[in-house]
């Protein structure tokens, strides 16, 4: 009998991740607040539970939360009819949403006050294409034994797994570091291409140059998709992370001028209208 894993949040990222867990031999017990998402999941072969409590009761040892933000995680996990209402024992909740480090630590503390349930964090990088291909990079943190036990789930949805210590928030700090660099690189590529356009340099040839020269980066190699990011979806999410990194830098007296500049210039550099 295949192991059952709960999965809450079956949107753009969550659904392909749940599908890849199914492909790896796990039985996914899914839940999403939106009917449209539930129907897409059913069509993709995911078993849908009626309530969050049902998810917790059916899952063998772990539930993934892939909802949008802190408020949604609190509602899903700690709400009156949330996952913890099932009073399950030895359950690990794997939060794969992107929160800020301190908020994730606070959420972990709230969950652990319920006794036999533990929270580990596993922020992801790779976007919807990585989720579909099962090649996400996964930044984990939390109790090491729980992270180790969850490794088969991570291997089903990603190709690189990293561990950053016992505090759940460390996963989120690693995600902010990664996205800080992403934002800076996006500004650099966009500005370089804009300058090249003044001399009518073929954009494709410039991108080919970057990829085999010192201008190489993930952004350069994936510019076809990155350049299509919109101000109300992926760019807005990235800007949220850049701002979070900036605020945490101020809080801890860490100067990050390039990140601050990227935060203010991102939409202009990418030629997008601000949301």
Active site residues: 175
CB 189 within 8 A of CB 219: yes
Query: Would you state the structure tokens that stand for residue 73, as one six-digit string?
Result: 């995680």
In sequence order, what DSSP letters do the residues of 124-171 get, joined into one string?
Answer: EESHHHHHHHT-EEEEEES-HHHHHHTHHHHHHHEEEEEE--SSTHHH
Query: Residues of 22-35 as b/e, b for ≥16 C-beta within 10 angstroms?
Result: bebebbbbbbbeee
CB 192 within 8 A of CB 152: no
* E strand map for 21-101: 27-31, 47-48, 62-65, 91-95
d(CA 138, CA 102): 19
CB 51 within 8 A of CB 31: yes
């Amino acid at each position: 009998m295949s192991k059952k894993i709960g999965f809450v949040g079956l949107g753009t990222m969550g659904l392909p991740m749940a599908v890849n867990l199914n492909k790896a031999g796990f039985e996914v017990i899914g839940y999403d607040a939106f009917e449209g998402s539930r129907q897409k999941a059913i069509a993709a072969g995911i078993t849908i539970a009626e309530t969050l409590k049902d998810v917790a009761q059916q899952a063998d040892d772990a539930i993934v939360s892939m909802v949008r933000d802190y408020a949604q995680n609190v509602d899903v996990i700690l709400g009156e009819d949330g996952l913890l209402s099932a009073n399950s024992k030895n359950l690990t909740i794997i939060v794969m949403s992107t929160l800020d480090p301190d908020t994730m630590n606070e959420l972990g503390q709230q969950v652990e006050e319920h006794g036999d349930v533990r929270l580990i964090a596993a922020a992801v990088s790779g976007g919807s294409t990585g989720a579909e291909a099962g090649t996400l990079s996964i930044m984990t943190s939390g109790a090491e034994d729980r992270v180790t036990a969850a490794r088969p789930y991570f291997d089903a949805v990603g190709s690189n797994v990293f561990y950053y210590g016992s505090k759940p928030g460390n996963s989120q700090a690693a995600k902010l570091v990664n996205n800080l660099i992403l934002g800076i690189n996006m500004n650099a590529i966009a500005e370089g291409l804009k300058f090249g356009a003044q001399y009518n340099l073929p954009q494709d040839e410039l991108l080919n140059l970057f990829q085999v020269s010192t201008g190489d980066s993930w952004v350069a190699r994936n510019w076809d998709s990155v350049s299509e990011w919109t101000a109300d979806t992926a760019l807005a999410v990235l800007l949220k992370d850049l701002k979070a990194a900036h605020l945490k830098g101020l809080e801890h007296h860490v100067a990050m001028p390039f990140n601050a500049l990227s935060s203010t210039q991102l939409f202009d550099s990418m030629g997008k209208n601000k949301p």
